[in-house]
Amino acid sequence: MFKGFCEEKGIKRHLTIRGTPKQNGVAERKNCTLLYMVRLMMAQANLPISFWGDTLLTTTYILNCVPSKSVSTTPYELWNGRKPLVDYLCPWGSAGYVHNPTNKHGELGPRAAKMVFIRYPEHSKGYVMYGEHRNGGMKEVDSRNVDFLEDEFPSISEVKKDL
C-alpha cells in the first residue's frame, strides 16, 4: 500500500539494511534532536514521565514550524502552502487558567480552572490543557481561552491542590 502510494507520487524509496543506522543519518540525527528536546522540556516542566508522549508531539509540532539550515522553508509551509503562525506558542508544561463561563454555582462560581499545558491540538488552533475535573478526576481540555502564568511550571499535584 505505501509502496504503491510512493510510486503514484513519484517518490523513490531508499531502504536501509537493518542494524545499520549510519545509512539513515538524517533521520537518526532528527531522532537525537527530538530526544534531547523532550528531555529538556520534561526536566523543566516538573511533570511525570508518563507525559513524554505529549512532550514528543509538542516538540515535533515546534520543529515543523521553525526553519532549519538545510531547507529554506519549514515542513509546515511545505505541507500547508503558507507560513506558520508562531505567536501563540508557549512553554510546554506551563500553568494557565482555562476559562469556562458555565459552572454549577452560576454567576458566583469560579470562571476558570488552573491547568497545565501538555500539547497543541491536532485539528484546531489552541492548547490541550490537563488538570482536575469537578468530579475529582483528571481530564484533558482543548481551549483557546487560556491565560498563562508567566514562569510557572507546577507539578500535577500542585494543580490538584490549587483547585
Domain ranges for the chain, please list them: 2-162
Q: Which residue has the cell 498563562?
A: 148
Note the pLDDT tens digit of each residue in 58-83. Answer: 999 998 888 877 777 888 888 888 98
- Which one, of 99, 135, 122, 119, lies nearest residue 47 by Cα? 119
Task: Tell me the helices (H) and strands (E) count for the chain, helix number first.
Answer: 5, 5
Ramachandran angles phi, psi of 108, nearest 5°: -90, -10
pTM over the 0.75 mark:
no
Strands 138-143 and 146-148: unpaired
DSSP strand E in the chain: where?
Answer: 95-99, 112-119, 127-132, 138-143, 146-148
